[in-house]
């Protein structure tokens, strides 16, 4: 099964390999060595592309259409795909988001409901290691708790919270796919403030979660391809 190893590709590969289905993962980018993530963080802090490929031609992206769109910092080619540089925010859709046509006469309703998808949200949160707290009064119902405790308020959070309290504004914890405690053979977050490049592997990315699981089976193998 050829598949690009993005978020969806890595998850599908792990699910199929776990069931004994032969999987071949095709990826045009490199495997980014965990031992070099500190170097990647320094690139990011210097304003450089932290996920650049060994061959410059791999990082040449283009778009079509009248509206220009800069892709250089919005794509990461390599094992892990876009999950390499996402910031780990792991919010669920609200139940009302599935019924926009019914509620607001906008777009179309989804063919499934939030209730249909809800158990899979829980599975995804466990697989990624989502830290959070069910303190959002407007969130849709959950059948499972968060697998990891929420991050405590930072110094700046507490400063902001005091100001909001005076205005009658409540704060809720943001669900994040990064380890508030050690989880999944990955360390706890060390607050490096470079979430586009996590140097310690605390932020979930499929190269550290699902890809490892898939490759540990006898059913999955990895292959490089030429640049797309």
- Over 89-136, what HEC string results? ECCCCCHHHHHHHHHHCCCCCCCCCHHHHHHHHHHHHHHHCCEECCCC
Alpha-carbon torsion, ordered 150, 159, 89, 38, to 10 deg: -90
Burial (0-12, 13-18, 19+ Cβ within 10 Å), 160:
middle
Question: What confidence score (pLDDT) does residue 2 get?
Answer: 34
Strand partners, 23: 220
- Structure confidence by residue, pLDDT tens digits, 33-56: 899 999 999 999 998 888 887 777
Q: Which residue would you say has higher pLDDT here, 6 or 156?
A: 156
- Structure confidence by residue, pLDDT tens digits, 59-102: 776 777 787 766 666 778 888 888 999 999 999 999 999 999 99
- Please give the biggest Cα pair distance in the chain: 59
Question: What confidence score (pLDDT) does residue 4 get?
Answer: 43
Q: How far is CA 170 from the centre of its chain?
A: 26
Residue 25: which of 225, 203, 180, 184 has the closest Cα?
225
Predicted structure pTM score: 0.86
- Structure confidence by residue, pLDDT tens digits, 169-212: 988 999 999 999 999 999 999 999 899 999 999 999 999 999 88
Share of the chain above pLDDT 90, in %: 61
Question: What confidence score (pLDDT) does residue 25 get?
Answer: 85
- Structure confidence by residue, pLDDT tens digits, 99-140: 999 999 999 999 999 999 999 999 999 999 999 999 999 999
How sure is the predictor about 223, in pLDDT bands with cuts at 50, 70 and 90? confident
How sure is the predictor about 225, in pLDDT bands with cuts at 50, 70 and 90? low
Does 228 have pLDDT greater than 50? no
CB 171 within 8 A of CB 161: yes
Question: What confidence score (pLDDT) does residue 3 get?
Answer: 39
């Amino acid at each position: 099964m050829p598949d690009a190893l993005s978020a969806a590709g890595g998850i599908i590969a792990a699910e199929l390999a776990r069931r004994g289905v032969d999987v071949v993962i095709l990826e045009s980018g490199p495997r980014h060595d965990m031992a070099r993530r500190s170097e990647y963080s320094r690139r990011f802090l210097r304003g450089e592309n932290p996920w650049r490929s060994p061959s410059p031609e791999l990082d040449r992206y283009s778009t079509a259409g009248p509206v220009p769109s800069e892709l250089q910092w919005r794509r990461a080619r390599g094992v892990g795909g876009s999950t390499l540089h996402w910031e780990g925010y792991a919010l669920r859709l609200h139940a009302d988001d599935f019924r926009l046509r019914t509620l607001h006469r906008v777009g179309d309703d989804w063919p499934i409901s939030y209730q249909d998808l809800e158990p899979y949200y829980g599975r995804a949160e466990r697989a990624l290691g989502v830290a959070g707290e069910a303190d959002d009064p407007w969130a849709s119902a959950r059948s499972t708790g968060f697998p990891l405790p929420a991050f405590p308020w930072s110094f700046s959070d507490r400063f902001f919270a005091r100001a909001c309290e005076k205005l009658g504004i409540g704060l809720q914890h943001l669900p994040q796919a990064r380890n508030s405690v050690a989880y999944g053979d990955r360390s706890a977050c060390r607050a490096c403030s470079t979430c586009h490049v996590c140097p310690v592997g605390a932020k979930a990315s499929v190269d550290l979660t699902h890809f490892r699981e898939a490759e540990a089976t006898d059913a999955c193998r990895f292959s490089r391809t030429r640049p797309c």
